[in-house]
Every structure is written in structure tokens, then in C-alpha cells.
């Protein structure tokens, strides 16, 4: 998804869940069994069928078919189905469905309220784009607490600029350090200038305070976020 927000990390903020695109001989059979289960009304199966068509697992990629399954999953109360519906309305697959920001926000908010970190980050980005900083910070903080690095980066900037929260460079540095811990090693040097810029505004005692806070931090993913991270494993367990 291409969400326009000043502080988005586009390489990390994706609407595609981690469902492997590496097909094996059983993928088509898994999809067949999933579809049968989905037709019986299983919202979780409907969501996973959507992901198979979304990502081209066991079948050719078919965004229109994927969207229809995500709609059914959402109607059945599946929060990840709501998230994917929101991604499509936000323009994930141009032409699959007409872009509608209001529908995208409404659908993603359902998933955000259910605890999905990517949805929380995206909802924060939408409010950030609107300069509704209190709402943006609320959702970035929720996503950052779960270990979603782009949200931690956005939260750091909010603290640095005093947008939606009191200006607090110690908190800004702590959030950047937390974000950096979650980044792949090769990507970490790109944030060194940002770290040094914040450090230059702080005393040694304040820097130490931020470093202690970052070192003590632990991600607290919700059950829904952990479910999303399981990707295709859930689909295979549903049919076995």
C-alpha cells in the first residue's frame, strides 16, 4: 500500500501479510480444501482463501477474487479480513476495487481496534496525513508497543516535533533506538544521522535515560498480530 504520510517507512509498511509466495505441490490441494471450508461459512477460511488468491498461492494471482473473499471474511467477523478489505480500498491493487479512503479507514479501524499492529500503524498514518496528531499518535503508540518499527519511527518524530504529545526528545531517541533494534542489520546505518541529530540536542544524562528505556523495552504483540504473522501455517492447519 502506498500510504502518504511524512514519516512512513515504505519498505516496512506493507498491506501484504506474510503468506509465502513459494508454491509447493500441496498448495493447490490446500486451496481446494480451504475453499470448501470457506463455502461452509468459516470466516478464517474465507480470509485465507483470499490470501491465496491475493498472493498467487496454489493459483494465479486474482485480486478481484481475493477481494470478494476478504469481503466475505469481514462480513463474518474476521478482523484480518477487514484489514485486507481496507487495503484494497486504499489502492493495494489498482482496478480491483474503486479507491475509497473513508471505506479504507473504516475497515482498517476494525482491525486496529481488534489489535492488529499493521492496521494500527496504517490508521495512524491516515490520521497523520490529515494532521490529526492526537489520533495518529494513539495508533502509532499501539502499533509501536507491539514491535511495529514504522510506527515507532513515526512516534519518535511526533515526540521530536511535539505533535499530538508534549515535545520530548528523550522519548524520541528511545523510540528511534527501539525501531533500530527491529531493523535488519544492513538497514541500521541509514538511521545513524537521525540518531545523532537527536543526541546532539540532549545531555549525556538524557541520552543514558533514553538508552536504558530502549534496552528495557520488549514487544508485546497481540493474539491477532501473532495470528497474522503465522501466515500460511494457519491455512494449512485449518484443512488438516
Indicate the burial class of 200 (C-beta count within 10 angstroms; 0-12, 13-18, 19 or more): exposed
pLDDT at residue 25 in the model: 56
What is residue 147's DSSP assignment?
Answer: T
Q: Cell numbers at residue 20, please? A: 509465502
Instruction: Return all residues near 92 (Cβ < 8 A) that are at least 6 apart.
Output: 1, 15, 16, 63
Tens-digit pLDDT string for the chain (240 aa): 333 333 444 333 334 444 444 445 589 999 999 999 999 999 999 999 999 999 999 999 999 999 999 999 999 999 999 999 999 999 999 999 999 999 999 999 999 999 999 999 999 999 999 999 999 999 999 999 999 999 999 999 999 999 999 999 999 999 999 999 888 888 888 888 889 999 999 999 999 999 999 999 999 999 999 999 999 999 999 998
Nearest to 74 by CA among 101, 46, 98, 36: 46
- Element of type H or E holding 88: helix 79-89
Show me where the domains of the chain are located. Answer: 27-116+224-239, 132-216
Indicate the burial class of 60 (C-beta count within 10 angstroms; 0-12, 13-18, 19 or more): exposed
Under a CB-based contact definition with an 8 Å cutoff, are residues 86 and 104 in contact? yes
Interhelix angle 63-75/43-55, rounded to 10 degrees, is 160
CATH superfamily of the domain spanning 27-116+224-239: Tetratricopeptide repeat domain (1.25.40.10)
pTM for this predicted structure:
0.88
Q: How far is CA 14 from the centre of its chain?
A: 6
pLDDT at residue 201 in the model: 93
pLDDT at residue 7 in the model: 41
The span from the CA of 227 to the CA of 240, in Å, is: 17
DSSP lists the bridge partners of residue 97 as 94
Amino acid at each position: 500500500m502506498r500510504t502518504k504520510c511524512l514519516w512512513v517507512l515504505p519498505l516496512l509498511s506493507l498491506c501484504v501479510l506474510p503468506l509465502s509466495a513459494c508454491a509447493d505441490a500441496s498448495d493447490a490441494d490446500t486451496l481446494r480444501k480451504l475453499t470448501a471450508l470457506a463455502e461452509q461459512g468459516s470466516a478464517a477460511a474465507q480470509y485465507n482463501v483470499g490470501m491465496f488468491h491475493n498472493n498467487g498461492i496454489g493459483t494465479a494471482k486474482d485480486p478481484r477474487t481475493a477481494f470478494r473473499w476478504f469481503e466475505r471474511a469481514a462480513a463474518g467477523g474476521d478482523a484480518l479480513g477487514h484489514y485486507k478489505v481496507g487495503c484494497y480500498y486504499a489502492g493495494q491493487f489498482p482496478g480491483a476495487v474503486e479507491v475509497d479512503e473513508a471505506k479504507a479507514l473504516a475497515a482498517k479501524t476494525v482491525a486496529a481496534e481488534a489489535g492488529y499492529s499493521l492496521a494500527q500503524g496504517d490508521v495512524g498514518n491516515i490520521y497523520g496525513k490529515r494532521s490529526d496528531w492526537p489520533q495518529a499518535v494513539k495508533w502509532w503508540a499501539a502499533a509501536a508497543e507491539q514491535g511495529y518499527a514504522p510506527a515507532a519511527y513515526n512516534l519518535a518524530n511526533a515526540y521530536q516535533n511535539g505533535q499530538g504529545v508534549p515535545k520530548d526528545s528523550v522519548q524520541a531517541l528511545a523510540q528511534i533506538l527501539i525501531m533500530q533494534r527491529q531493523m535488519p542489520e544492513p538497514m541500521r546505518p541509514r538511521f545513524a544521522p537521525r540518531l545523532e541529530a537527536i543526541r546532539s540536542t540532549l545531555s549525556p544524562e538524557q541520552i543514558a535515560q533514553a538508552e536504558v528505556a530502549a534496552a528495557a523495552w520488549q514487544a508485546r504483540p497481540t493474539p491477532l498480530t501473532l495470528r497474522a504473522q503465522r501466515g500460511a501455517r494457519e491455512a494449512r492447519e485449518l484443512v488438516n
